[in-house]
Amino acid sequence: MAVYDTIYAMSSGSGRAGVAVIRVSGPHSKDLLQQLCSGEIQARYAHLKTLTHPKSGDLLDQALVLWFPAPGSFTGEDVAELHIHGGGAVIAAVMEAVGSVSGLRMAEAGEFTRRSFYNGKLDLTGIEAISDLVAAETDQQRRQALAQMRGGLSDLLNQWRDRLIHILAYVEAGIDFSDEEDVGDDVNRHMVTKILDLKNQIAVHLNDQRAGERLRDGLQVVIAGPANAGKSSLLNGLAKRDVAIVSEQAGTTRDVIEVHLDLNGFPVTVSDTAGLRDCGDEIEEEGVRRARNKMRAADIILWTTDGTIKEAPFNFLIDSDQSLIRLRNKCDIDSSRACPKSEAEDCPILAISAKTGAGFDRLIDSITDIALTIQSSGENAVITRARHREALMRIVDILSKVLDTSDLADELIAENLRICTRELGRLTGRVDVEDLLDVIFNDFCVGK
């Protein structure tokens, strides 16, 4: 374990609260506790202590004090926690007192987590999971972040990396120890099967409809349709507040207006866009261009038309992983059109009224159903960031190239496998070569 200086910081949020937590990590942590309060402090016990200023002896606060000796702490170092009263003056006084002890300095952003990484407490996916857990706004995001924090992704990546290292060891053995009798003739066939299995398994995880990333970032729901159909009114209705300007004038909305919502536990970003029409107005045309871009990036398009005028056909191509919900708004006006028959079997039209809220429950259910389908299609989705996906796609490409090139020299196969191992190592933050040597020496009786 590397030894660093001792750092401290407020670990709880800012603002007045019942309790505030100051965390201290590093070799001087115990020293600090001894200077702040008297009496024995047992490891991992909560002690109620009176804190006094180490220099002036002034009374500071009554606090709960905890002590986690290395390596059994979040950072892997000696850690002290002070649970003090959460008022501004108390926090300022205790922070000043802690800072007055020699050898302590304020932590930089993310420094506790960085130390836990350097001390092998967390790998990179664990760090990402903690940041996702703290940022989680809905229940589903919380569950996903927790699964990742408990090793969902890193176990899989390490398993794949171990398999790659194993294959690489075989190939290396073929190169370096070709005279060894332990390395049989069928090494090549054996290796091809193993590479193919691994490639297929990674590909299965990549084919998860981007469920993990979508859940982490929130589903992109885009309200689009002809001008004046009531798109902005729909956004306001879903957000339950007056976000976008509504007017009877066609062409009111030009910019894309976004609202983040929690729909039955699923995070969604709902965007209101400019009405699609040819108008000759330069600014509105820019709005239409932005609307079309937004539709292309949507997970779900809410195609909204005005039920009181002639139906505007939906004539856009959508990707296989995009969903379309067709809405006929203003059903409060023309009740004969309030519950239209489905025009296209594959995509029924929902009658809604942005004015009265009629049909909103069904609309929210439809969005939740799609979110559930995406989630269950990636039931065990473990890829939660573009960083993971890009690296895994590169690995699948390289493995495919190795498999497709029949006359690739062993040296080149080994080099390609090494690149894949490095990519996987970079995902978790493990980039050592010692493991490779271990496998070679364990599996073969080289160097008799």
Residue nearer to ligand GTP on the CB measure, 75 or 273? 273
Query: Which of 46, 333, 409, 431: binder of ligand GTP (CB under 6 A)?
Result: 333
Kindly indicate which of the ranges 11-19, 213-221, 223-231, 349-357 contains the residues binding Mg ion, using the contact rule CB under 5 A: 223-231
3-state secondary structure of 406: coil
Q: Which stretch binds Mg ion (CB under 5 A): 144-152, 207-215, 225-233, 282-290?
A: 225-233
CB under 5 A: which stretch of 38-46, 250-258, 288-296, 401-409 binds Mg ion? Answer: 250-258
Among 232, 236, 322, 353, binds Mg ion (CB under 5 A): 232
Ranked by CB distance to ligand GTP, the top (closest) residue is 275
**CB closer to Mg ion out of 254 and 385:** 254
Site string for Mg ion, 98-137 (x = CB under 5 A): ----------------------------------------
Within 8 A by CB and 6+ apart from 73, the residues are: 25, 79
Residue 365 — left, alpha, or beta (φ > 0 → left; ψ -120 to 50 → alpha)? Answer: alpha
Q: How many helices (H) and strands (E) does the chain have?
A: 14, 12
220 binds Mg ion (CB under 5 A): no
Q: Is 354 in the site for ligand GTP (CB under 6 A)?
A: yes
Burial class from Cβ neighbours inside 10 Å (0-12, 13-18, 19+) for residue 258 reads middle
Out of 29, 119, 252, 322, point to the residue binding Mg ion (CB under 5 A): 252
Which of the stretches 118-126, 132-140, 150-158, 253-261 binds Mg ion when contact is defined by CB under 5 A?
253-261
* Residue 62 to residue 56: CA distance in whole angstroms: 17
Report d(CA 366, CA 348) in Å as an integer.
Answer: 11
Q: Which two tokens stand for residue 114?
A: 């960085």
329 binds, among Mg ion, ligand GTP, none (CB under 5 to 8 A by kind): ligand GTP
Position among 230, 359, 378, 425 found at the interface with ligand GTP (CB under 6 A) = 230
Q: Figure out which of the listed residues 27, 69, 251, 265 binds ligand GTP, where binding follows CB under 6 A.
A: 251
Q: Are 7 and 28 in contact (CB under 8 A)?
A: no
Give the number of residues in contact with Mg ion, rule: CB under 5 A.
Answer: 4
Q: Choose which of 6, 119, 220, 233 interacts with ligand GTP (CB under 6 A).
A: 233
Contact at 8 Å (CB) between 384 and 153?
yes
CA 220/CA 259 separation, integer angstroms: 10
**How far apart, in whole angstroms, are the C-alpha atoms of residue 383 and residue 380?**
9
Is the backbone peptide bond immediately before 267 cis, with ω within 30 degrees of 0? no
Quote the least distance from Cβ 327 to ligand GTP, whole Å. 10
What is the C-alpha to C-alpha distance for residues 297 and 286, in angstroms, rounded to an integer?
Answer: 17
DSSP 308: T
Q: Does position 246 bind ligand GTP by CB under 6 A?
A: yes
Per-residue x/- marks for ligand GTP, 253-272, CB under 6 A? x-------------------
305 lines the binding site for ligand GTP (CB under 6 A): no
What are 84's two structure tokens?
Answer: 């003090």
CB of 266 to ligand GTP, least distance (A): 24
Contact 61, 53 (CB under 8 A): no
Q: Which contacts of 354-363 are long-range, i.e. CB under 8 A and separated by 24 or more positions?
A: 354/230, 354/233, 354/234, 354/236, 354/237, 354/329, 354/330, 355/230, 355/233, 355/330, 356/332, 357/237, 358/331, 358/332, 359/327, 359/331, 360/237, 360/238, 363/302, 363/325, 363/327
Say how many C-beta atoms besides its own lie within 10 A of residue 253's C-beta: 23
Q: Does 253 bind Mg ion (CB under 5 A)?
A: yes
* Whole-number Å distance between alpha carbons of 309 and 218: 33
Q: Which does 23 bind (CB under 5 to 8 A by kind): Mg ion, ligand GTP, none?
A: none
**Residue selected from 38, 178, 207, 247 as contacting ligand GTP according to rule CB under 6 A:** 247
Q: Does 227 bind ligand GTP (CB under 6 A)?
A: yes
Which of 228, 305, 375, 421 binds ligand GTP (CB under 6 A)? It is 228
Minimum CB separation of residue 280 from ligand GTP in Å reads 15
Please identify which residue in 194, 290, 355, 387 interacts with ligand GTP, judged by CB under 6 A.
355
Contacting positions for ligand GTP (CB under 6 A): 227-233, 246-248, 250-253, 275, 329-330, 332-333, 353-355
